[in-house]
Amino acid sequence: MNFKLKASDKEKLDKALAKKGLRTTKQRSFVYSVILGKRDHPTADEILLRVRNSLPSISLATVYNCLESLVECALVRQVNMDRSPSRFCPNLSPHAHFKCTKSGKIVDLSLKESQIKLLKKILPKGFVSSNFDLTFNGTLR
């Protein structure tokens, strides 16, 4: 798998990290490129296996530290489903997920602004949502 970041993604990474007082490291670049590369909502363990092809000495702790900084810089979203390990999603636009209960595959579902407004209408009076996590579970046909 090619772990080279596109120039625009590298610039985005550099700027976001610098804004938080962090520097771009080889490890952060590789972890970010893995998440952007396949877009399959990998877990930290899956990211570790992919990055180890290029950085054999990277540890799981380093992967977690990289993920924490990427989430903090709003470059990826941490997605928690049921009691499963956290997954990481590069899609930062408002969207839902579909998780196949047979294969474990997770797919992004685009939401129109009108659908998001409809979802917000179910909030109790006086509540304001800053974000949401919506996951459909089922099987792919």
- pTM of the predicted model as reported, rounded to 2 decimal places: 0.88
Same domain, 23 and 59: yes
**Which DSSP string corresponds to 79-123?**
E--TTSPPEEE---SSEEEEEETTT--EEEEE--HHHHHHHHTTS
Burial of 11 (0-12, 13-18, 19+ CB in 10 A): exposed
Asked, for residue 102, whether it belongs to a domain, the answer is yes
Taking only the tens place, the pLDDT of each residue in 28-63 is 999 999 999 998 999 999 999 999 999 999 999 999
Same domain, 72 and 120: no
Domain CATH number, residue 17: 1.10.10.10
Same domain, 30 and 84: yes
Same domain, 66 and 103: no
Distance CA 52, CA 58 (A): 6
Taking only the tens place, the pLDDT of each residue in 57-99 is 999 999 999 999 999 999 999 999 888 899 999 999 999 999 9
Asked, for residue 18, whether it belongs to a domain, the answer is yes
Same domain, 47 and 98: no
Name the domain count of the chain.
Answer: 2
124 Cβ contact partners less than 8 Å away, ≥ 6 residues apart = none
Quote the domain boundaries for residue 81.
7-88
Sign of CA pseudo-dihedral 102, 108, 109, 115: positive
